A = this chain, B = another copy of it.
Amino acid sequence: MPVIALPDQPLDETSPTPLYFQLRELIADAIKGGQCGPDCQLPSERELAEKYGLSRMTVRQATVALVSDGLLIRRRGKGTYVAPPKYERGLFGLTSFSEDMKKRGLTPSARIISLRQVPAPSKTADIMGLAPGSTLVLLERLRLADDQPMAYEFSYLSFQRFPDLTEDLLGAGSLYELFWARYGIRLSHAWQSIEAVLASPREAKLLSINQGAPLLLLERTAYDETNTVVEFVKSLYRADRYRFSVQLQQNAGKWKGDG
């Protein structure tokens, strides 16, 4: 039962950032650093208070927040521990196809069907908060899992924001990774709806299924931190290979799940 290692440097008393918040980041970084896995123990509140010259209440303000973030677990009479990476927690929320497949133990890849500029359909323009007829980038891809067709995907992106997207840039990789690596965009939240539809002849052919086979239609509108729409995606998933799961909570409508 190892104890997690925290930096010895004192906190910055002069910073406008509150002390409890500094400590919170410190601990969060140490956990995410991963040198100390689940069930790893945190120094006791009294030890932390002495180490950083804080009162115990201030230390608690940091650790309590981390507990509600799901990074720590408290056990009365025993101590505070790094939370185990629960299956339903943390990892997800807003995941890309690539992440999703990896979590399912499958190897994701993609075949680009087309990448071109299109005038925004009125419904799409409305969703993306653009003027009707604005130029959009339409990325049409076949998503594969273990080299078998899994989904047929249409991604609409603002041309103004992504004027230089090329097939080379995309490769077979994750669009979300590209957002971050090339454009510095981090997605913060999304709205997603799920419907059941039947495969058209074209969809059936691409997905290697029969015409009229059931498909899950996922529509996702993803936002960045400034609440601007980054992409609007329509994905058609093969129902025989894909199932969407969520965990529902009674309390405050907080959900934990996976797509």
A106 CB-CB contact with B under 8 Å: no
Task: Please state if A88 and B253 are interface contacts (CB–CB under 8 Å).
Answer: yes
CA distance A195 to B191 in the complex (A): 19
A214 CB-CB contact with B under 8 Å: yes
Give A residues with C-beta under 8 Å from B.
Answer: 57, 68-71, 88-94, 186-198, 212-216, 220, 237, 239, 242-257, 259
Contact of A249 among B94, B242, B246 (CB under 8 A): B94
Task: Please state if A90 and B253 are interface contacts (CB–CB under 8 Å).
Answer: yes
Contact of A189 among B212, B220, B245, B247 (CB under 8 A): B247
CA distance A88 to B248 in the complex (A): 13
Task: Please state if B191 and A194 are interface contacts (CB–CB under 8 Å).
Answer: no
- Smallest CB–CB gap between A56 and chain B, Å? 13
A245: nearest chain-B partner, CB-CB: B193
Across-interface contacts of A194 in B (CB, < 8 A): 194, 216, 243-246
CA distance A193 to B246 in the complex (A): 6
Contact of A214 among B186, B189, B214, B256 (CB under 8 A): B214
Across-interface contacts of A213 in B (CB, < 8 A): 198
Task: Please state if A188 and B250 are interface contacts (CB–CB under 8 Å).
Answer: yes
Task: Please state if A239 and B196 are interface contacts (CB–CB under 8 Å).
Answer: yes
- Smallest CB–CB gap between A180 and chain B, Å? 11
